Structure 1
Amino acid sequence: MTSTHPFLKEHREKHLQELKQFLSIPSISSDSSYKQDVLRAAEWTAQALKEAGMEKVQVMATDKHPVVYGEWLHADNAPTVLIYGHYDVQPVDPIELWETPPFEPTIRDNKLYARGASDDKGQVFMQIKVIEAIMQTEGKLPVNVKFIYEGEEEIGSPSLDPFVEAHQELLAADLLLVSDTTMVGEGQPSICYGLRGLTGLQIDIKGAASDLHSGLYGGAVQNPLHALSELLASMHDSEGHISIEGFYDKVRPLNKEEITTYQHLSDDEALKKQLGISELFGEAGFSTKARLWGRPTLEINGIWGGYQGEGIKTVIPSEAHAKITCRLVPDQEPAEIARVIQTHIEKHLPKGVTVDVTLFDQAKPFITPYDHPAIQAAGQSLEKVYQHEVLFTRMGGSVPVVETFNTLLGLPAVLMGFGLETENFHAPNEHFHLDNFDKGMETLIDYLHRIKEAL
């Protein structure tokens, strides 16, 4: 469907062209060579807010990438909604797997292909255009709004916690609205009430002072790749259970309703087909959705060392490396999980090598009661537009700032995203279904009117 809202319907093609401009900016926050592009995306976002009728729009510096702020505060006796999103994107590697260039947005089969199309530029754009549509057709908003858009979400939002702490009065509101999550399936609206947290680290194993000839020294010294493989293997048992002492100590159990709902939503055959695999694998005793949404993980994200070129080079490498991230669930503390992993590494390090551990991104898990009036109102808006009963779910990913806003500002969070898990965010050929582009904006317009009465 195309939107039924008169302003959105009339300007749909113009909006798609504007979104393509936004998506053409390679705002890759993890790569310093794209710093100016990240700034350019921030400035583009700020200009879009100004054109939507927002006031006090600013591009505000942080230690790394800027925050974009804007507001409209003229709705008397109405709540204030803080709208959050991010304008930075993931790297595009491997580039050769993209069917069309990642920063040359292309529409195919009613889907918009580009890096950031679903995560999160497409949804940020929707938020802004919804505000513009209301302002243009009604002359005012039903609620007060504040916007905060960051450029570091894809690198763990390192500057955002101190920014929020330093600007608590500026960001004070009654509700946080985020569109950076996914729906359960096509045509199936859902509200996310929980996010997993994150802790990341790198393991660097060191053996001899330099690479060694495997014929002259093989059998007499420890191979760092062997040592690393043994160490990593010690972190799980054969059934997917994490074998690190203390890892599960504070995991909040799923309640009976969650267990039943997640079992019902788990379609293992469809997931295997989608992923092109013959079998699923995970912690024994839990359904697939329970593993994805309500249980913690420890994943090896990268492992390297030794000769990588063509053919064989008969060496024992002097170094071996691995990157690990853990997705955490409510009541787990990222710093504590990092500590128990470090203890495990020290305890299980094979002889003949040394180890260094470097800590990376950390984010606390988040969960909010799904009977909160703001969340229930969101469900009503979704059901009205999608004509389908809404589901209340968790999400396996992390949006670190949600917990920050809840802790520092006391804001309940409505995580109303319109992406789909099949849209390849963080992977080649990321795309966004334009049906959700249209329905999502209809839903947000309805919600901003509905929330005035709900709070």
Structure 2
Amino acid sequence: MTREAAVSHATDHVDSGRLQSELAHLVGYRSESQNPDRRDVLQDYLAQAILPRLTAAGFDCAIHDNPDGPAKGGPILLGTRIEEPSLPTILTYGHGDVIWGQAGQWLDDLDPFALTERGDRLYGRGAADNKVQHLVNIAALESVLAVRGRLGFNVKIVIEMSEEIGSPGLSRMMQIHRDALKADVLIASDGPRLSAERPTMFMGSRGGVSFDLVVSLREGARHSGNWGGLLADPAIILTQALATITDARGRLQIPEWRPDSLTPDIREALRDLPIGTDGALQIDADWSEEDLTPAERAYGWNSFAILAMKAGIPEAPVNAIAPSATARCQLRYVVGTDVDRILPALRQHLDDRGFDKVRIQPTDRGIFGATRLNPDHPWVAYVRASLKRTTGEDPHVLPNLAGSLPNDCFADVLGLPTIWIPHSYLGCNQHAPNEHVLKPVCREAMQVMAGLYWDIGTDCPAS
């Protein structure tokens, strides 16, 4: 009954091929939350793949309908394993839904929903985001139970099936079950490591708000020869409006979109972090704020993106002035940004420049709030020391992830300190064809989580 035995048990779970086999089973569920035809699969994932395993590990579980309704979001599993009410309680989280499989676009025409091994890579939709991540955490808990016979702490778990469409209903679920989900800390896994060679931990995430900018001037297209120069062009108006939101190098031009939270302590925390590693695209050094480092731009600042644009028929252009033009836009924002002012500030910005014909249309996709836990929090120091004890080196520590997660449901609604330990890496191709996880990362992830759970069951920070 030693920490080393628990870590060894977790390591064997990978080396024996069991983790890979279990991941293959989870990837086989076509749990595309964006696809209304997969609603039954979302339920099956929880009822068939997750609940029986948690029940066998001593959890009391229930699967709840989404409080926003099944048309809005998938079901949510809540589980608890209480060894002794006086013990510390850890809340953990995962999501079993994935984005579209994008079949036909994968390397060698791989089936997105069949886990395929190529060297150290395991390909499959959801392999990295997020199926292996909650699988590793559940398996690591089982390793500690197998060695010690108990955890030495209580665990509560939330598995949702709608994260990829903005986690509708999750915040309400946390509000409804606030008392039942009381805990000392959230320790969960999602997102990528900064480097495949070293664990990462982050304590929050950037928020994300998406919206459409629409210019619609008339019914039907008009011949560009007969009407060119006589009719206003929606696409030109829209592109001119978009060009005012940033300058030519992407610097934000709306004052309310420029945060005030990049403080000296956050800059210090970001100072030595690697950026653009693990085969990711070469970053553009001359993009965004010129007086910020790449790490500050990614983790301490806001970024605007145009996700898609359309006017006319792009796949079959004709000689006609389109009647309308649309752009799907997104602002990723950090703590220190007034979310209630994001769209009103944009409206005022466009009106001041004469773009009253440009409509702002919020999407029906959920908005993730920005969150951040101070890097000197006792739980941060504790988890950091545990990960170092297992691997022999300091993990990378981020105040917040560059991407967006429903962390506000736990940090704001439940009032918890939140720590995320991702089990993927930057080159994993999540949300794209060829999504994959690395076997060495999975192996180390099992080790660090088993070590961390062992430590929590032995001694942890006072609540």
CA contact (8 A) 2:205 2:372 kept: yes
Q: Percent identity?
A: 23
Q: Does 1:213 align with 2:223?
A: yes
CA distance in 1, matches of 2:386, 2:177: 31
CA contact (8 A) 1:181 1:192 kept: no
Residue equivalent to 2:133: 123
TM-score if structure 2 supplies the norm length?
0.90
Deviation (angstroms), 1:278: 7.0
Deviation (angstroms), 1:349: 5.1
Residue equivalent to 1:38: 42
Residue equivalent to 1:387: 392
CA distance in 1, matches of 2:107, 2:33: 20
Residue equivalent to 2:8: 5
Matching residue within 306, 310, 313 for 1:307: 313
Output the amino acid matched with 1:357: Q
Output the amino acid matched with 1:438: R
Residue equivalent to 2:426: 421
CA distance in 2, matches of 1:239, 1:421: 24
CA distance in 2, matches of 1:439, 1:27: 27
Change (3 A) 1:119 1:7: closer
Residue equivalent to 2:3: none
> What secondary structure sits across from 1:203 in the alignment?
strand
> What secondary structure sits across from 1:265 in the alignment?
coil
CA contact (8 A) 1:8 1:133 kept: no
Task: Deviation per CA, 1:257-300: give whole Å up to 9, x if none.
Answer: 543553433556x68x7316776522221111110111001111
Q: Does 1:167 align with 2:177?
A: yes
Q: Does 1:397 align with 2:403?
A: yes
CA distance in 2, matches of 1:411, 1:276: 36
CA distance in 1, matches of 2:193, 2:157: 23
CA distance in 2, matches of 1:201, 1:246: 17
Matching residue within 66, 74, 80 for 2:83: 74
TM-score if structure 1 supplies the norm length?
0.91
Where does structure 2 lack aligned partners over 5 or more consecutive residues?
Answer: 1-5
Task: Deviation per CA, 1:210-230: give whole Å up to 9, x if none.
Answer: 111111111001111111111
RMSD: 2.2
Residue equivalent to 1:241: 251
Change (3 A) 1:206 1:177: same
CA distance in 2, matches of 1:371, 1:161: 27
Residue equivalent to 2:301: 295
CA distance in 2, matches of 1:357, 1:194: 28
May I ask how many residue pairs the two structures share in their alignment? Answer: 445
Residue equivalent to 1:254: 263
CA contact (8 A) 2:7 2:451 kept: no
CA distance in 2, matches of 1:262, 1:92: 34
Deviation (angstroms), 1:362: 1.4
CA distance in 2, matches of 1:28, 1:305: 28
After TM superposition, the structure 1 stretch with the greater mean CA deviation from structure 2, 375-384 or 160-169, is: 375-384
CA distance in 2, matches of 1:76, 1:160: 25
CA contact (8 A) 1:374 1:451 kept: no
Task: Deviation per CA, 1:150-200: give whole Å up to 9, x if none.
Answer: 111111112101111011111111111111132221222222123111111
Residue equivalent to 2:205: 195
> What secondary structure sits across from 1:327 in the alignment?
strand
Residue equivalent to 2:189: 179
Change (3 A) 1:197 1:141: same
CA distance in 2, matches of 1:349, 1:115: 45
Output the amino acid matched with 2:183: A
